[in-house]
Amino acid sequence: MPRLGPSIVRRPHLEDWLGRFRGVPVRFLVAPPGFGKSMALVGYLRHSAPNGFYCILNANCTAQEVWAAIARALEAESAFASHAEVITALATRAPMELALDCEHVPDAGGVAAVLQLIDDLPEDVGLLIACRARGPFQVGRLVSQGAASLCDAERLAFDVAGIRHVAETCGVPYTHPDVLRMLEATDGWPQVVSGALRKAAEDSCSLSQAFDNWRTHHGHLFNEFIAASLTHVSERDADLVLKLMSGSYLDDRQQLQGLEEQGLFVIHTADGYRPLRALSRTRLYDRYGRRAQPAHPMQVRLFGWFLAEIDRQPIEWIRRRDRQIFKYVALQPGGTASRAELGHVFWPGAERHLVAQSLRTVCSNIRKAIAHIVGFKQVEAYFRAGDDLSIDLENVIVDVNRFVSHTDDADAQYERGELRAAYAHYRSAARVYRGDLLIGDAHEPWVATLDAILKQRHVTVLERIAEIVSAIDDQATAEPDLRLASGS
């Protein structure tokens, strides 16, 4: 069985679930890659199955390779040459449990061998099958007939208690709102949650910083993992996944359902099918895991009169509403806003399907406006319309973000008594602040509240600049260029 790392936590509720359905002939664990199916199998076999055996089935393995893998798992003297030999070997070892871990789907003959094994399973032999796709192993039919039970992505995902437990295990400080935000950002995807928390522990980050820190420093590794997961799928499906990954919005239910059935990073919720959120919050890579070509930065001015331009070419917006929603997204922390939030702000009380249609039109228009300058292939380097609407802050430079960043750094240095360093950041913040926030939208509630906060911060900036210059002059240590820069 695979060796587990020291930070891998036991998941007793999964072990309990697998044990509770021990009497069912087959227990399926079906979810996209990275949902901890193998870890759940290993944990159960080690702690709850005294006579359990673990078997890995390779991608596209044949019937003969399936039989040979089972023989190795059972430590038989030689490979099994037929289905009958497999059944006999299992019957002689009963009572027992056999786990088949399928990283990818076997070929047609291999799938047929597994289905035949299910049909002829001896008494007192339990079969556990971990796989990403329901279709090949006829999971739906077997579950509906009562011959199998299903542990799906929803059950395998971390919940609030699970995230909290991993954070405590890794020694990552957290608050309850941090846990809820992590759950929202990741859908409880175990690989993402555990990867983000391990990286946070290495870098001494809190849970509130964990996801962005992981995405920044290990995003390329995650993209390599996604690319490897697409190795044995059709080019059409791989391209659909990569569109989702780059932030594209698929409105075709059949396409999303097809990806979900194959375990390709789409889940089913009460609202229908949608991609895992963490998938579309990674950086833009092509289907071979290569970083997309760097884009010219988009400059966004929110202080004073709004302006967004790329390579000194202003973006010409199609409608006022498109421009407003782009402004709203640019103002949000991390440059991200959910569709539900946008519906509540811009279409309060409207019917859900009408809001969805309006947002589709907005997203299409924003893409067209940006593409007019850079072409459609480069749009997703700036703007993405997935489950959330977002801008890529690596390529979009927002003046409000620069102002806040400079004032935050300046405040921290001021508190430490590092006056010259604080002065430099305060002066940079003062240069960025060109006037009230979004003058043309000052009447909008979503502008007014933030505008008041930024105005007060600007007042503090000016007061601190004067205070620092006065303090340095009083000490007769001010440098000439410092006095000159401050206007004294």
Question: Within a domain: residue 472?
Answer: yes
- Split at pLDDT 50, 70, 90, the class of 282 is low
Question: Within a domain: residue 70?
Answer: yes
Question: Within a domain: residue 305?
Answer: yes
Q: Give the span between the Cα atoms of 334 and 347, in whole angstroms.
A: 23
95 upstream amide cis, omega within 30 of 0: yes
Which residues share a beta bridge with 337? 389
Question: Within a domain: residue 97?
Answer: yes
pLDDT at 116 over 70: yes
Q: Are residues 277 and 224 located together in one domain of the fold?
A: yes
Give, for 53, the enclosing helix (H) or strand (E). Answer: strand 52-57
Q: What is the chain's mean pLDDT, rounded?
A: 88
Q: Are residues 19 and 145 located together in one domain of the fold?
A: yes
Q: Which residue has the higher pLDDT, 4 or 257?
A: 257
pLDDT at 57 over 80: yes
Give 204: exposed, middle or buried? Use CB within 10 Å, 0-12, 13-18, 19+: exposed
Q: pLDDT, tens digit, for every residue of 146-159?
A: 999 999 999 999 99
- Split at pLDDT 50, 70, 90, the class of 50 is confident
> Could you tell me the sign of the dihedral formed by the alpha carbons of 376, 380, 385, 391, in that order?
negative
Q: So what's the pLDDT on residue 239? A: 86
Percent of the chain clearing pLDDT 70 (strictly above): 92
Q: Give the span between the Cα atoms of 238 and 243, in whole angstroms.
A: 9
Residue 154 three-state SS: helix
Question: Within a domain: residue 286?
Answer: no
**CATH code of the domain containing 383:** 1.10.10.10
Give 175: exposed, middle or buried? Use CB within 10 Å, 0-12, 13-18, 19+: exposed
Q: Are residues 257 and 368 located together in one domain of the fold?
A: no
Which among 156, 171, 192 is the end of a domain? 156
Residue 87 three-state SS: helix
**Would you give the distance in Å from CA 202 to the centre of its chain?**
20
**Across 199-203, 352-356, 377-381, 465-469, least confident range:** 377-381
Q: Are residues 27 and 76 located together in one domain of the fold?
A: yes
- Sequence-distant (6+) residues with CB within 8 A of 255 are 240
Euclidean distance between the first and final Cα of the chain, in Å?
73
Q: Give the span between the Cα atoms of 454 and 462, in whole angstroms.
A: 12
pLDDT at 290 over 50: no
Contact between 225 and 33 (Cβ < 8 Å): yes
Q: Are residues 250 and 142 located together in one domain of the fold?
A: no
pLDDT at 334 over 80: yes
Per DSSP (E only), the strands in 2-51 are 26-30
- Split at pLDDT 50, 70, 90, the class of 285 is very low
pLDDT at 436 over 60: yes
Of 357, 365, 401, 405, nearest in space to 383 by CA:
365
pLDDT at 291 over 60: no
Q: pLDDT, tens digit, for every residue of 210-230?
A: 998 998 888 888 988 998 888
What is the residue range of 236's domain?
Answer: 160-281
Q: Are residues 355 and 436 located together in one domain of the fold?
A: no
pLDDT at 287 over 80: no
Q: Give the span between the Cα atoms of 220 and 227, in whole angstroms.
A: 10
Q: Are residues 32 and 123 located together in one domain of the fold?
A: yes
Q: Are residues 152 and 164 located together in one domain of the fold?
A: no
Question: Within a domain: residue 3?
Answer: no
HSE (side-chain half, CA atoms, 13 Å) at 460: 16
Amino acid at 215: R
Q: So what's the pLDDT on residue 1? A: 66
DSSP line for 285-316: B-TTSPBPPP-PPEEEE-BSS-EEEETTEE--
Q: So what's the pLDDT on residue 233? A: 86
If you average pLDDT over residues 308-324, what whole number do you get? 95
DSSP line for 432-448: H--SSBTGGGTTSHHHH
Q: pLDDT, tens digit, for every residue of 91-101?
A: 999 999 999 99
Q: So what's the pLDDT on residue 344? A: 95
Q: So what's the pLDDT on residue 476? A: 47
Residue 269 three-state SS: strand
Question: Within a domain: residue 466?
Answer: yes
Q: Are residues 332 and 262 located together in one domain of the fold?
A: no
Q: So what's the pLDDT on residue 293? A: 54
Q: So what's the pLDDT on residue 52? A: 94
Q: So what's the pLDDT on residue 117? A: 96
- Sequence-distant (6+) residues with CB within 8 A of 91 are 122, 123, 125
pLDDT at 33 over 90: yes
Which among 394, 411, 432 is the end of a domain? 394
Which among 156, 173, 196 is the end of a domain? 156
Q: Are residues 378 and 315 located together in one domain of the fold?
A: yes
If you average pLDDT over residues 388-406, what whole number do you get? 91
Q: Are residues 127 and 212 located together in one domain of the fold?
A: no
**CATH code of the domain containing 75:** 3.40.50.300
The H helix count followed by the E strand count for the chain is: 20, 14
Q: Are residues 238 and 265 located together in one domain of the fold?
A: yes
- Split at pLDDT 50, 70, 90, the class of 470 is confident
Taking each helix axis as running N to C, give the angle between helix 190-202 and helix 160-170, from 0 to 180 degrees, rounded to the nearest 10.
Answer: 30
Domain total of the chain: 4
Question: Within a domain: residue 5?
Answer: no
